[in-house]
């Protein structure tokens, strides 16, 4: 850390991220460019899967050096061997991360985290739900929006419900039973967040299992939405930062990961990305703390899932879900 | 049918660049990946598809919805095209632009417009309830009805534009001749105008049907998660399950379904297309 | 079955008046021939009668009823279109059968009727051919068969025989005439063939620039054109300027370029010696004659054109104007020969000067 | 919109169809002026903030727009040539296998974009570094071809080929005949096809998103990206601007050329 | 400038032979008229010459060079299409100027040439009209102007005057003839008008069912048809069966239905008393006569048709066959009248029995 930073004159580091975060990532990278005298190009390939597919297809000629990606997708990439392990000697900031944010096998760590919880429209709902189980109490029939099994949070919800109903992380049968029994009460099984937002605004739904980061938009629209931390605990979707295997700038990529986990960058994550930073030293404004996870306690309460188990079973779950729950109309 | 004459062969040379381009950039890649898929997975995924009632059901839904979309687009599009071709209204150009307006709005945004209109408390329901036509809001969104409405909206311009040009080329004297022979406007339409516009109809139907078969955004957004078409499944396998083999298999099943249906349609309409044309004066 | 009346019928295209206040009454069962130069408005008139043009002035009455708001398909008029307008997607049989099918006739009857009319227009065996597989004349006959087969009360034929050879043409004329007579169809036929007009029609209308110039019995129009324009159009190619010498009832003598011609059966009313007049005579009425016969004058052959049954001579040195004579004799004339021709006194027409001849 | 020539039935249906076509667009235009990020109907107020958003550098819509126009123009221009020649080659004489050839020319339509996009992605990845523009362009060249071929074919079906003979007899070479006689007469179909093709390419997101490169992103991708997270009326504003632009362009074209380019 | 030769030219549509081994040589600067019944293959021949049909047998040679592989646009032939084939998107001026523009002539020259030819076809002032705004005859003249204006070495005209009235038609004939002469254009003109054919052409070809029946000078074909088919086609409407009585050189006498007719200038070779023959004569060559004159026979008027310059009589009781006579006299005939007509001995043609007449 004392050494003067190496000069990467002429190098162009390609960082792939979500389209809607591109501008902010570009902004966050400015100092990195200055420090290492290189150029950072942000590749905005909309969704996680597009990014992952691209990287998998480009195994022989990777175009991307660093990829930001939701944990569960990154797990697929790790398994497929398209990502490099993180070099702890370079990425020294790893040590500042909450434990859950570090990858057990040494792959890309989480740089931010969002929570799923229950959001409801207080204008429409008199008695708010307190737990996931409450959702099926009958009070919210026809007003519910839940993640589709094919969405990121779908399997999380399944596992959570299964655990509550007598199953476990590896026995999801009770969860499916619950979903199946209540299939007609769910108004919307959503795949993207904008579907939920629109449904809230048109009054189609009033209760949803949704991400915390969506609160500001809903609020700004004049909807009186409220956040509930369900009794079962929140489950999270964390964003990871990964180095692409055989990429053109491996050294610079590792440096970028380290940079992204630094206090300086992490301090800006909440404001710029509207997500909770995973660096223990990171600060967060009070306004953000209202709905973003902050502090050791909140971080500890986040539910963990076995991504590899989920990934191995996801296709089958989706198929079953489509046959038994979201049955073709 | 004739065998190829020399002129004919020379004419066919004209198509050479097109043939080469399509072969190089479409056929070869597609075939390459098909072979790859077959090599890697054999017919496993094809078998999976056809032995599972859900997938067969999705194929059936896709075909049925596409047929409905095509039929509605034709029934609504033909009179509109007729109007466009025959009116001397000063608005003609404006109307033409209106037809292509929807294309300027991304399919997603357009679907949003429909959500606002068709939603449970959407404009349509508000209107119907205000006028007392219904007591309970209709459920339209997230049903096949919404998908059909959205697809017709998306694809009807193809129908209208395909037919308008052909109707414009019909010699007005030919319709007059039918009138003089006592055919009323309906008979004239069905026996003269309609058969003479067959090329446009066929072309429009092929465009609408195939685009509907391969559509993705509209069914996804207006059909919700309980409505799936073939493209939905392809997307799911590519983007969620990362199962490229199954995605390819579904794509090729869709491709061959379309080809078979078109082959059948071509055979059924062969006469209509061929008879038209030639021998007329300016 | 149907009488037709046109009252002040007028059609304008912008500033241009294509049809100009046409008044015409066609009796039930009458056949009227419409004659006139190219572009004089014949097709336009038929289109208005048939109901294909809806913006016009004046009125079309059928059996006394104004047709203004009767759509074309309710008018039950048979129309032969100048450009045929065959249905390109139907073969010969279907083209011809179309009108019959519209009348919902029995299939066997339709077949019989089509068979008969196709035989009549000599197209038996062509039933399965599409229009594009037929020659020009064959297409024309399909269109004719299509217009005739429904036996409409009012038949509008726009140059139905223009693409047929002489022999076929005469045969078709005979058939049209026969059908017209047998069924008493009221018919308007546009033709550019004067012989066709006079041999088919009960009445001939000669038009110019949207107006009727003369309407009358064929013989009347053909032999006694009402004015110089009609005369010219009807083939009186010789127009000789002269001055009246003497008027004695129907017998008038006229001085033309220092020679004198005598007319019989001329209308002498209002004529006085000294009046400027124009005489007109058809080339085929000028006959080779002996010197000294009535109205026999001698000139020089300037040009000889073989025209089949006649030989056309251009004769100079008779009047200031060159004289055209169609001579029947098979005798050979040569340029420069002296020739004496007679201008039969009953064949000469006389027009007062002020009338204009050109269009 | 009434016209005696057309009859009440077509007029009525046409009117309904135009209302149907415009309805969701009207919603979108209204939404673009919403003061709140989530649109409620009827809107509560009026704001132009979303229009400002279009031009902000963070959304990058402007560069996306430029790239989209570039791809769509080039792809359409090339395909008009390829598509019209292909349609011409099979139209004039009937021959065995004609339908097969037509199906071949239109076959890209029969494949879901995602499948074809994926195939191309894999192929391009094996070739190595190909610029984003080229990748998207090649993809679009293929997928918009059917629209031009189809529309050209349908106008050609009513074409009076004697006119080409007439031109040839007057000494016009095949090229001149095409330029001066055939093309002007089939223009409505060609323009219709080109318009559909252009707009398809301009609006294409699926294939583009997989083939785009870090430095070459088209407008639909930007829109899709934007939408992934925020569903505020910025997109409605963009749509409104595009609608307005095309309207102005058309009116300008009509004033300039003095004739309606599509409907003779 | 161009000579044309057709060798065994044949065109089949499936089983049907539209053009059947045509051999024909057209000299440089010659004008040939193609005559024949509707559908006999005239248009098809022109299309092959012009290069619009590429599957045919036999060959087309221009100046001795086989045209097989020369595309239409390099043949520089002017073509008038039977159905006009005007460019619908061009106005009159642009239609006519098209060929000139292809020759890259100077703008001012083009304007001058178009102006002149439009004047010639009497369409001055119609420059800006589109084909659909022109009458049938006007369209035809635009097409004619378009074909003529480029002054092609070889001109193919397919019924160029069929939609024009008699007067205009003759004027146009004169113009075509003049242009042909002045420029020495080799021309083939298809026409169904025999008078047009004989007055325009250097040579007349009569076709039937794809074959040439007779080719010769107009007078030859018109006065001495080679066989009964041509005779019939050329207007010899009277065919009388008979048996040879006596042959004395060119003078032959023939017994017809118990009467006797004498022929002068007949070809008696190979004829013997008792041979079955057919006599042919044109209606216009049968003349009213005094009883007792040569070949004068008496019959009964069966029908009278006014045909303008002539009156057509159907006369029975002369032979078994009805006799058609076109009488020039203005005398009035009535049905039932007895009438004596002469069959001039030089106007009678004789054909041996085996020759067939019908198609
Ligand atoms: N495509 C075709 N298929 C079959 N027969 C055809 C086709 N085209 C033309 N024919 C036939 O070939 C013959 C010759 O036609 P063509 O047009 O040359 O006649 P034509 O002598 O010009 O007649 P017309 O004087 O009536 O114009 C006709 O009998 C016609 O029916
Ligand atoms: N749409 C139009 N615009 C302007 N003028 C027109 C239009 N249609 C026809 N005319 C003109 O009207 C006149 C009459 O045309 P019409 O077709 O009735 O003539 P016609 O007597 O049938 O001639 P023809 O014997 O040549 O067929 C012509 O001079 C023609 O140029
Ligand atoms: N802008 C129109 C969208 C149509 C949908 N897709 C068709 C898939 C083509 N491969
Ligand atoms: Mg006319
Ligand atoms: Mg012909």
Q: What is the pLDDT of residues C59-94, one digit of tens each?
A: 999 999 999 888 888 888 999 999 999 999 999 999
Contact in structure between D46 and D35 (CB atoms under 8 Å): yes
* Tokens, residue A217: 């938009």
User: Which residue stretches of chain B have pLDDT < 50?
Assistant: 1-3, 277-282
What is the pLDDT of chain A when averaged over all its residues?
Answer: 90
**What's the pLDDT at A15?**
94
**pLDDT score of B3:** 47
**In a domain? residue B108:** yes
Q: Is C135 on the interface with B (CB under 8 A)?
A: no
Cα–ligand 3 centroid distance for B215 (angstroms): 6
End-to-end CA distance of chain D: 18
Interval between CA C29 and ligand 1 midpoint (Å): 36
D93 touches chain B (CB under 8 A): yes
Task: Inspect the interface and report whether the beta carbons of C165 and E37 lie closer than 8 Å.
Answer: yes
Are residues D126 and A197, on separate chains, in Cβ contact within 8 Å?
Answer: no
Distance of CA E329 to the CA centre of its chain: 28
pLDDT score recorded for residue A129: 94
Query: From atom 2 of ligand 3, which residue's Cα is the shortest distance away?
Result: D200
Residues of chain C with CATH 2.40.50.140: 236-352
Whether C111 has a pLDDT exceeding 50, the answer reads: yes
Look at A62-71, B77-86, D156-165 and tell me which has the smallest mean pLDDT. Answer: D156-165
In DSSP notation, C168-209 reads HHHHHHHHHHHHHHHHT-EEEEE-S-HHHHHHH-SEEEEEET
Q: Which of C94-103, C316-325, D29-38 is the most confident on average?
A: C94-103
Task: Convert the pLDDT of each residue in D135-158 to its tens digit.
Answer: 999 999 999 999 999 889 888 887
Chain B residues with beta carbon closer than 8 angstroms to that of C132? 277-279
In CATH, the number for domain C236-352 is: 2.40.50.140
Query: Given an 8 Å threshold on Cβ–Cβ distance, is C89 in contact with B280?
Result: no
Which residue among D76, D116, D139, D200 has the greatest number of ligand 3 atoms within 8 angstroms of its CB, and so is best to mutate? D200
Q: What is the pLDDT of residue D2?
A: 44
Question: What is the average per-residue pLDDT within A60-82?
Answer: 92
Most D-contacting residue of E67, E85, E145 (CB-CB within 10 A), to test interface: E85
- Mutation site, B58, B124, B240, B245, interface A, largest A CB count within 10 A: B240
Rounded average pLDDT over A247-267? 95
pLDDT, tens digit (0-9, with 9 covering 90-100), for B33-88: 888 888 888 899 999 999 999 999 999 999 999 999 999 999 999 999 999 888 87
CA angle at residue D24 from D21 to D28, to 5 degrees?
130
pLDDT band at A223 (very low <50, low <70, confident <90, very high): confident
User: Rounded to whole angstroms, how far apart are CA atoms C331 and A59?
Assistant: 104
pLDDT value of residue B2: 42
User: Which structural domain, as residue segments, surrounds residue D166?
Assistant: 60-219+257-263
Pocket test for ligand 2, best of C35, C37, C42 (most atoms within 8 A of CB): C42
Chains A and C are in contact, defined as 3 or more C-beta pairs closer than 8 angstroms: no
User: pLDDT value at position B213?
Assistant: 94
pLDDT at D4: 54
**What's the total number of domains in chain B?**
1
**Who contacts B74 (Cβ-Cβ below 8 Å, separation ≥6)?**
B159, B201, B204, B205, B208
Q: Who's near E356: CB < 8 A, 6+ residues apart?
A: E228, E229
The lowest-confidence range among A161-165, A322-326, E135-139, E288-292 is E288-292
Q: In the prediction, which pLDDT does B278 show?
A: 33
D183 pocket-lining for ligand 3 (C-beta < 6 Å)? no
Residue A3: per-residue pLDDT: 67
- Using CB atoms, list chains with 3+ pairs below 8 Å to chain D: A, B, E
Rounded to the nearest integer, the mean pLDDT of chain C is 89
Q: pLDDT per residue over D71-130, tens digit each? A: 999 999 999 999 999 999 998 887 778 888 888 999 998 888 888 988 898 888 888 778
Question: In Å, how far is A284's CA from the nearest CA of chain B?
Answer: 33
| Residue B28 placed within a domain | no
Whether the CB-CB separation of A198 and D38 falls below 8 Å is answered with yes
Chain B residues in contact with C86 by the CB 8 A cut-off are 174, 177, 279
Q: Give residues with Cβ within 8 angstroms of B41, minimum separation 6.
A: B245, B249
> Are B282 and E54 within 8 A, CB to CB?
no
Q: How many CB atoms lie within 10 A of CB A3?
A: 5
Q: Provide the pLDDT for residue B37.
A: 82
- Atom of ligand 1 lying closest to residue E47 CA: 18
Among C35, C136, C284, the residue with its CB nearest the CB of E82 is C136
Rounded Cα distance between A235 and A301, Å, is: 9
The CATH superfamily assigned to C4-228 is P-loop containing nucleotide triphosphate hydrolases (3.40.50.300)
Residue with tokens 């729950």: A325
Query: What percent of chain A shows pLDDT beyond 90?
Result: 57
Cβ-defined contact of B225 to A188 (cutoff 8 Å):
yes
Whether E and A touch, i.e. at least 3 CB pairs below 8 A, reads as: no
For ligand 5, the distance from its centroid to the CA atom of residue E158, given in whole angstroms, is 7
Residue E359 has pLDDT above 60, yes or no: no
For residue E22, the ligand closest to its alpha carbon is: 1
- Out of B58, B119, B243, the one facing A315 most closely (by C-beta) is B243
Is there a contact between B161 and D195 if contact means CB atoms under 8 Å apart?
A: yes
- By Cβ distance, the residue of D212, D214, D228 closest to A20 is D228
pLDDT in tens, C130-142: 999 999 999 999 9
Overall domain count for chain D: 1
Q: Is residue B18 part of a domain?
A: no
Q: Which residue has the higher pLDDT, C15 or D213?
A: C15
* Residue-level pLDDT at B7: 64
* Residue C124 binned pLDDT confidence (cut-offs 50, 70, 90): very high
CATH, residue D189 = 1.10.3720.10
D168 Cβ under 8 Å from any chain E Cβ: yes
* Atom number of ligand 1 nearest to Cα C135: 17
Tell whether D99 is covered by a domain. Answer: yes
Q: φ and ψ at E182, to 5 degrees?
A: -60, -40
Residue pair E37/C136 in contact (Cβ under 8 Å)? The answer is no
Q: Note whether residue D89 is domain-resident.
A: yes
Dist CA D203 CA D205 (whole Å): 6
| Residue E108 CB–ligand 1 contact under 6 Å | no
**Average pLDDT estimate for A6-30:** 89
**Per-residue confidence (pLDDT) for residue E323, from 0 to 100:** 87
Chain B residues with CB inside 8 Å of C85's CB? 171, 173-174, 176-177
Least confident of A155-169, C58-72, D15-29, D209-223: D209-223
Burial C123-154 (b: 16+ CB within 10 A, else e): beebbebbbbbbbbbbbbbbbbbbbbbbbbbb
Ligand 1 pocket check for E38: Cβ under 6 Å:
yes
Nearest residue CA, atom 5 of ligand 3?
B215
Q: Please choose, from the candidates B217, B191, B213, B196, the residue with its C-alpha nearest in 3D space to the C-alpha of residue B260.
A: B213
User: What are the chain B neighbours of E88 within 8 Å (beta carbons)?
Assistant: 282
Q: Where does CATH 3.40.50.300 sit in chain E?
A: 4-228
Residues 153 through 192 of chain E touching chain D, CB cutoff 8 Å: none
Q: Is residue D18 part of a domain?
A: no
Which pLDDT tens digit goes with each residue over C216-267? 999 889 888 988 899 988 888 889 888 888 888 778 888 888 788 888 876 6
CA angle (A78 as vertex; A77, A79 as ends), nearest 5: 90
CB count within 10 Å of CB E8 equals 12
D115 lines ligand 3 (CB under 6 A): no
pLDDT of E191-248, one tens digit each?
988 888 888 999 999 999 999 999 999 988 988 898 889 998 888 888 988 888 888 8
With tokens 């009117």, the residue in question is D15
- Contact of A203 with chain B, judged by CB distance below 8 Å, is answered with yes
pLDDT at residue C355 tops 70: no
Residue B135: which CATH number? 1.10.3720.10
User: Using CA atoms, how far apart are residues B69 and C283, in angstroms rounded to an integer?
Assistant: 74
Residue A319 near chain B (CB below 8 Å): yes
At D55 the pLDDT is 83
- What pLDDT is stored for residue E334 in this prediction? 84
- Residue D77 in domain: yes
Structural element, H or E, at residue C149:
helix C136-149
Does C86 lie at the interface with B, CB-CB under 8 angstroms?
A: yes
Is B71 a pocket residue for ligand 3 (Cβ < 6 Å)? no
Q: Each residue of C278-300: pLDDT tens digit?
A: 889 999 888 888 887 888 888 89
Q: Which has the minimum average pLDDT: A288-302, B100-114, C4-18, E92-106? A: B100-114
Report pLDDT for E17: 94
SS3 A102: coil
- What is the 8-class DSSP label of residue D108? G
């Amino acid at each position: 850390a004392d050494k003067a930073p190496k000069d990467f004159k002429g190098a162009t580091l390609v960082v792939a991220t979500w389209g809607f975060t591109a501008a902010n990532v570009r902004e966050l990278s400015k100092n990195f460019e200055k420090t290492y005298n290189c150029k950072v190009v942000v590749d905005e390939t909309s969704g996680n899967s597009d990014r992952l597919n691209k990287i998998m297809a480009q195994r022989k000629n990777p175009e991307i050096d660093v990829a930001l990606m939701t944990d569960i997708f990154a797990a697929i990439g790790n398994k497929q061997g398209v990502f490099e392990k993180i070099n702890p000697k370079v990425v020294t900031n790893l040590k500042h991360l909450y434990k859950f944010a570090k990858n057990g096998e040494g792959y890309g760590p989480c740089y931010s985290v969002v929570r799923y919880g229950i959001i409801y429209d207080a204008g429409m709902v008199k008695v708010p739900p307190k737990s996931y189980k409450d959702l099926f109490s009958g009070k919210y029939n026809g007003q519910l929006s839940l993640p589709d099994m094919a969405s990121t949070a779908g399997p999380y919800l399944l596992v959570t419900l299964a655990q509550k109903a007598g199953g476990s992380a590896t026995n999801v049968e009770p969860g499916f039973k619950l979903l199946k029994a209540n299939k007609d009460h769910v108004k919307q099984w959503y795949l993207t967040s904008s579907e939920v937002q629109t449904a809230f605004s048109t009054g189609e739904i009033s209760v949803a299992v949704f991400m915390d980061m969506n609160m500001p938009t809903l609020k700004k629209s004049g909807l009186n939405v409220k956040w509930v931390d369900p009794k079962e605990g929140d489950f999270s979707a964390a964003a990871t930062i990964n180095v692409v295997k055989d990429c053109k700038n491996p050294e610079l990529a590792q440096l970028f990961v380290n940079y992204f986990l630094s206090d300086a960058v992490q301090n800006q994550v909440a404001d710029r990305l509207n997500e909770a930073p995973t660096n223990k030293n990171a600060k967060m404004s009070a306004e953000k703390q209202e709905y973003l996870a902050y502090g050791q306690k909140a971080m500890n309460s986040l539910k963990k899932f076995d991504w590899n188990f989920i990934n191995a079973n996801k296709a089958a779950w989706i198929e079953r879900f489509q046959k038994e729950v979201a049955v073709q109309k | 049918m004739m065998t190829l004459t020399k002129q004919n062969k020379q004419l066919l040379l004209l198509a050479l660049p097109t043939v080469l381009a399509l072969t190089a950039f479409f056929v070869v890649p597609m075939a390459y990946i098909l072979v790859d898929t077959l090599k890697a997975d054999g017919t496993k995924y094809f078998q999976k598809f056809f032995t599972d009632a859900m997938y067969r059901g999705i194929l059936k839904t896709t075909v049925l919805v596409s047929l409905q979309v095509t039929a509605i687009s034709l029934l609504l599009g033909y009179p509109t095209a007729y109007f466009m071709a025959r009116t001397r209204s000063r608005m003609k150009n404006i109307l033409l632009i209106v037809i292509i307006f929807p294309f300027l709005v991304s399919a997603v945004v357009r679907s949003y417009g429909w959500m606002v209109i068709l939603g449970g408390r959407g404009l349509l329901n508000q209107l119907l309830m205000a006028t007392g036509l219904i007591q309970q809001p209709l459920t339209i969104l997230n049903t096949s009805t919404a998908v059909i409405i959205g697809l017709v909206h998306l694809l009807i311009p193809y129908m209208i534009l395909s037919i308008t040009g052909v109707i414009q080329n019909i010699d007005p004297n030919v319709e007059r001749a039918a009138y003089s022979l006592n055919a009323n406007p309906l008979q004239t339409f069905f026996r003269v105008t309609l058969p003479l516009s067959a090329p446009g109809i066929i072309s429009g139907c092929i465009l609408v049907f195939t685009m509907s078969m391969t559509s993705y955004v509209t069914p996804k957004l207006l059909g919700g998660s309980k409505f799936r078409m073939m493209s939905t499944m392809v997307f799911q396998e590519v983007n969620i399950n990362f199962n490229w083999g199954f995605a390819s298999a579904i794509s090729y099943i869709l491709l061959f379904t379309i080809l078979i249906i078109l082959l059948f349609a071509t055979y059924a309409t062969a006469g209509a297309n061929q008879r038209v044309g030639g021998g007329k004066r300016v | 079955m149907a009488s037709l009346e046109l009252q002040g019928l007028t059609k304008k295209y912008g500033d241009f008046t294509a049809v100009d206040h046409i008044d015409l009454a066609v009796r039930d069962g009458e056949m009227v021939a419409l004659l006139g130069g190219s572009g004089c408005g014949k097709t336009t008139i038929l289109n208005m009668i048939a109901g294909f043009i809806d913006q016009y002035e004046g009125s079309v009455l059928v059996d006394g009823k104004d047709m203004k708001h009767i759509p074309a398909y309710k008018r039950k008029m048979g129309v032969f279109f100048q450009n045929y307008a065959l249905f390109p997607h139907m073969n010969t049989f279907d083209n011809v059968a179309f009108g019959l099918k519209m009348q919902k006739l029995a299939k066997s009857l339709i077949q019989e009727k089509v068979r008969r009319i196709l035989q009549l227009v000599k197209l038996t065996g062509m039933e399965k051919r599409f229009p594009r597989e037929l020659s020009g004349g064959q297409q024309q006959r399909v269109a004719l068969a299509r217009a005739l087969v429904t036996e409409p009360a009012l038949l509008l034929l726009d140059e139905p025989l223009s693409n047929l050879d002489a022999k076929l043409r005469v045969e078709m004329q005979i058939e049209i005439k026969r059908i017209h007579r047998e069924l008493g169809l009221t018919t308007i036929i546009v033709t550019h063939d004067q012989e066709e007009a006079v041999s088919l029609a009960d009445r001939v209308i000669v038009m110019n620039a949207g107006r009727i110039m003369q309407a009358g019995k064929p013989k009347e129009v053909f032999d006694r054109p009402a004015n110089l324009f009609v005369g010219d159009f009807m083939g009186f190619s010789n127009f000789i300027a002269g001055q009246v010498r003497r008027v004695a009832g129907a017998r008038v003598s006229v001085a033309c370029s220092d020679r004198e011609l005598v007319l019989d059966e001329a209308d002498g009313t209002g004529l006085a010696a000294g009046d400027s007049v124009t005489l007109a005579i058809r080339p085929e009425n000028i006959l080779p004659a002996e010197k000294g016969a009535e109205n026999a004058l001698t000139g020089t052959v300037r040009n000889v054109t073989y025209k089949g049954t006649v030989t056309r001579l251009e004769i100079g040195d008779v009047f200031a104007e060159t004289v055209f004579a169609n001579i029947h004799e098979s005798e050979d004339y040569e340029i420069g020969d002296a020739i004496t021709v007679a201008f039969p006194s009953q064949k000469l027409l006389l027009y007062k000067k002020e009338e204009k001849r050109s269009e | 919109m009434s016209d005696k020539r057309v009859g009440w039935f077509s007029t009525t249906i046409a009117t309904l169809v135009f209302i149907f076509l415009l309805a969701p667009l009207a919603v979108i235009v209204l939404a673009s002026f919403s003061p709140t990020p989530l649109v409620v109907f009827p809107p509560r107020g009026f704001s132009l903030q979303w229009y400002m958003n279009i031009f902000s550098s963070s959304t990058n819509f402007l560069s996306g727009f430029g790239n989209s126009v570039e791809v769509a123009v080039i792809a359409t221009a090339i395909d008009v040539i390829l598509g019209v020649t292909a349609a011409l080659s099979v139209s004039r004489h009937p021959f065995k296998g004609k339908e097969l050839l037509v199906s071949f020319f239109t076959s890209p339509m029969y494949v879901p974009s995602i499948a074809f996009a994926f195939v191309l992605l894999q192929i391009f990845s094996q070739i190595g570094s190909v610029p984003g523009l080229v990748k998207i362009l090649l993809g679009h060249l293929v997928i918009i071809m059917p629209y031009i071929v189809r529309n050209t074919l349908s106008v050609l079906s009513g074409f009076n080929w004697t006119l080409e003979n007439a031109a040839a007899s007057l000494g016009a070479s095949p090229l001149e005949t095409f330029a001066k006689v055939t093309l002007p007469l089939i223009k409505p179909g060609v323009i219709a096809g080109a318009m559909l093709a252009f707009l398809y390419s301009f609006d294409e997101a699926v294939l583009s998103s997989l083939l785009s490169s870090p430095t070459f992103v088209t407008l639909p991708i930007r829109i899709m990206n934007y939408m992934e997270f925020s569903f505020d009326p910025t997109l409605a504003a963009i749509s409104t601007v595009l609608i307005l632009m095309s309207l102005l362009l058309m009116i300008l074209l009509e004033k300039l050329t003095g004739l309606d380019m599509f409907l003779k």
